[in-house]
Amino acid sequence: MKTIIGKEQAPPLPLRHPTWQSYTNGNFVSELLVQDDCLWAVTGGGVVRWDRNTDEYVKYTTVHGLASNVVSGLCQDQAGTLWFGTYDSGLCALDKEGHWTYFSAQRPFDSNRIQAIYLTAEDTLWVSTPHSVYQLDRQGEWQRHDFASVVTIYQGRDGALWFGLFEGGVLRLTGDGTLTRYNHEDTLGEGITVYAIYQADDDALWFGGYESGIRRMDKAGHWSQVREGETDCYGVTSIAQAADGSMWFGCFDRLLCRRSNDVWEQIGLFDEHDQYAALRSVNLQRVGTMLWLGLWGEGIVRIEANGDVLRYVTANEITTNAIWMIAQSADGTLWFGTQGHGLNQLSATGVWTRYTERDGLISKRILAICPSSDGTLWLGMAAKHGSDHAAIQQLDTNGRLQTITDAPTSLRGSVTAIAQRFDGSLWFGIGKERESSGGVYCLHADGSWETVFASSALAEDDRRSSE
């Protein structure tokens, strides 16, 4: 598989916030929009527009006018206006002249969380929130529909709209307003979540969801289910059909599953030892003879009809957009702790360095960061089950990680806070799953440990270890 690391270009838009600089990761792709030589990627760090001819990309973030960097969907209407749904700041639209328009819970929606956005063949925009579905009519007015928990929207070839629901099956809305719910044992099964809907070339409709398997409704309206044992493809997030007629399914727990001539197979795109091999594929699109795949954390993959694979990734990124902790060293270095993707370092000269489990981190969940007066960095992390040492590491001035192994026995939980006093002593706050379990510990400048406070459960651990 060939990987293209794109070159970032400045967006052809004026900066809405010119004094800000945005650091986001454009490789956590949740949706794709393919248009001729242009490829749009919806990510957790803004929207990335790829030029497939030059392999250059432009990243749009809140600095350029997006309502939020956490984008949930994208579509373009016949007038050329781009519509962006976000998970926390409503909907925004960018017209061809570069003007932004914003729609939020203040007007006209009942929530700022946009769960799905879809443009029909008739150029009608549909948007869903957790509580309702909204339709933008030709007069520019929003019409509200009382459909709750819609997480995906799809239009069949007959013009009917399908709405996938969270734990509620699917709804079908025809042009004359007839609404039909499929949520029974003889159709989809009761209470399932439908994330993916796709109509194949034979007019059969395929449905997939999280922990709900794969269902199929043929053009005569007969339902069938992929039987247990036929495939391990569960947690389906996207469905597409290749030019050869095979059906492809993007899943949470496997990268890809393919069904060809009633035979199922799992497709792996990365080396079996790659740490990202289990990351979910979240969006599949067929364009001509090619399949485009958006990956959560690994950019965009293009699969040619002959089996060749090409991957596009944005360059020089932080490891994730889920930043939980920020600290600054005396030399101006910034440190970013993440939930599940290790530690990121941004030097005063703008150079990024990343630390993951491959580099020696004992946990990829960073809960506390404390720059020390001696130039080292102390890290508190999520405790791993069965670990025999504290979830504390020290990063020295040469970039080497050292695990602290001489802490008190009771210091075995997740380290959620670290601070240094003027005398050089370091203080550690610990938390465990039990609400009443926690403690405070001090590492004195002479290297000795003191248990300042520990809950009864933790104190018992120390007592037993000393016996």
Tell me, yes or no, whether 275 and 338 share the same domain.
no
pLDDT on residue 272: 45
pLDDT at position 463 is 46
118 belongs to a structural domain = yes
Q: Which residues does 247 contact at the CB level (< 8 Å), separation at least 6?
A: 200, 206, 239, 240, 241, 258, 259, 260
* Residue 379, strand partner residues: 369, 393
Q: Same structural domain for residues 327 and 180?
A: no
Q: How far is CA 377 from CA 3, 333, 415, 420, 431, in A?
A: 34, 11, 14, 11, 21
The answer on 277 and 368 residing in a single domain is no
Same domain, 15 and 120: yes
In the listed set 313, 348, 378, which residue is the last one of a domain according to the structure? 313
pTM listed for this prediction: 0.80
Residue 318 included in any domain: no
Strand order in the sheet with 205-208: 196-199, 205-208, 214-217, 223-225
Q: Residue 35: is it exposed, middle or buried by C-beta count within 10 angstroms (0-12/13-18/19+)?
A: exposed
Q: Assess if residue 430 is contained within a domain.
A: yes
Q: Residues 30, 296: contact at Cβ < 8 Å?
A: yes
Question: Of 281, 313, 345, which residue sits at a domain end?
Answer: 313
**333 plus 306 within the same structural domain:** no
Residue 277: per-residue pLDDT: 36
Distance of CA 117 to the CA centre of its chain: 17
Task: Assign residue 94 the CATH number of its domain.
Answer: 2.130.10.10
421 lies in some domain: yes
pLDDT the model gives residue 464? 45
What is the count of structural domains for the chain?
Answer: 2
Domain closes at, from 276, 291, 313: 313
Residues 413, 277 share a domain = no
Residue carrying the six token digits 């969940």: 365
Q: Are residues 366 and 307 in the same domain?
A: no
Please report the pLDDT score of residue 447 as a whole number. 93
User: Which structural domain range is residue 399 located in?
Assistant: 323-466
Per-residue pLDDT of the chain (467 residues; tens, 9 = 90+): 667 777 788 777 777 888 888 888 888 888 888 887 888 999 989 999 999 888 899 999 999 999 999 999 999 999 999 999 999 999 999 999 889 999 998 889 999 999 999 999 999 999 999 999 999 988 889 999 999 999 999 999 999 999 999 988 899 999 999 999 998 766 766 778 899 999 999 999 999 887 667 889 999 999 988 876 677 676 788 899 988 899 988 877 555 788 888 888 877 655 543 433 334 455 677 777 788 888 777 788 888 888 788 888 888 678 888 888 899 999 999 999 998 889 999 999 888 899 999 899 999 999 999 999 999 999 999 888 767 778 999 999 999 999 998 888 777 788 999 999 999 999 999 876 444 457 899 999 999 999 988 775 545 554 444 44
- Is residue 143 in a domain? yes
Claim to verify: residue 263 and residue 369 sit in the same structural domain: no
- Indicate if 267 and 352 belong to the same structural domain: no
- 307 and 327 co-located in one domain: no
